Amino acid sequence: MKFGEQLKSEELEVMRRAQNIVFVTGAGMSQESGIPTFRGNDGLWRNYDPMKLATIDAFWNDPKLVWEWYNERRQGMLVAKPNAGHYAVAKFEEYVDVTVLTQNIDGLHQRAKSSHVLELHGNIIRTRCTECDFADKQAKISSIPPMCKCGAILRPDVVWFGEELPQDVWQDAMISACKCDIMIVVGTSLAVSPANMLPIYAQQNGATIIEVNPEETAMSEDIDYTIRDTAASYLPGLVDTFGKLRSRF
């Protein structure tokens, strides 16, 4: 029985008293929008070596190769549409304060109209200069690798392995995790740090943790409710239940 389906008294109580909900989302959130995940059978890392594509050393070693890979992925992300899971996450805002902490770089939560999204690993549409402080949100790339007016190479504004997360974003993410009542962890293997610490911070501060993932993860056993389902299949029902319950009070 999935969380929220039978409305057991314990679950009712959790939903009734929640003042704010934090979603922690990963690649599985966008899988039903046609964007591949990283790990697992259909994951990107099956065919590509992350150390040759998602590190600063890889970038300096072959900027053209890395940019070609990112350009192909950004084209796919630009045409992808939010799925029912993204829209359900946004709909929670009708009933409760919501913060979305996403590892995804595709911008689909914002396009589904979630209003408070923290991008932990950056955004694929943005570029920034490797030398000066130039940054751009333009979707069009005129050359590969794209160049800055200052003469240096532009890079995708994403967080690669070994790089620090944007510190202001990370600070806000930790604060949100520590003060939420419910954390819903959707579509992430929780294999990558420091994002995988967020459920631990939330749990240490008394939040109820719900995981939505068709597969088991490293943290499934420690999570309060694990839902073996996909984002687009499960979340719309959960937000409807939540809405019905909250509108009675």
Active site residues: 121
| Residue 12 vs 214, nearer CB to ligand BJW | 214
**What is the smallest separation between the CB atom of 141 and ligand BJW, expressed in angstroms?**
15
User: Which DSSP string do the residues of 104-172 spell out, in sequence order?
Assistant: --S-HHHHTT-S-EEETTEEEEEEEESSSS-EE--S---SSS-B-TTSSBEEEEEPPBTSPPPHHHHHH
> Using the rule CB under 6 A, is 78 a contact of ligand BJW?
no
CA 191, 176, 38: angle at the middle one, nearest 5?
Answer: 25
CB atoms within 10 A of CB 194: 13
> Using the rule CB under 6 A, is 193 a contact of ligand BJW?
yes
> Using the rule CB under 6 A, is 199 a contact of ligand BJW?
no
**What is the smallest separation between the CB atom of 132 and Zn ion, expressed in angstroms?**
3
Phi and psi angles of residue 206, each rounded to the nearest 5 degrees, phi first: 90, 5
Strands 20-25 and 97-102: parallel
> Using the rule CB under 6 A, is 230 a contact of ligand BJW?
yes
Task: Pick what 77 binds: Zn ion, ligand BJW, none; C-beta below 5 to 8 Å, kind-dependent.
Answer: none
Which of 2, 12, 20, 43 forms a contact with ligand BJW (CB under 6 A)?
A: 43
Which residue, judged by CB position, is nearest to ligand BJW in the bound state?
A: 28
> Using the rule CB under 5 A, is 148 a contact of Zn ion?
yes
Determine the Cα–Cα distance for residues 84 and 90; give it in Å rounded to an integer. Answer: 10
CA dihedral over 92, 96, 97, 103, signed as positive or negative: negative
> Using the rule CB under 5 A, is 129 a contact of Zn ion?
yes
| Residue 130 vs 220, nearer CB to Zn ion | 130
**What is the smallest separation between the CB atom of 158 and Zn ion, expressed in angstroms?**
17
Q: What single DSSP character describes residue 194?
A: T
Interacting residue ranges for Zn ion, rule: CB under 5 A? 129, 131-132, 134, 148, 150, 152
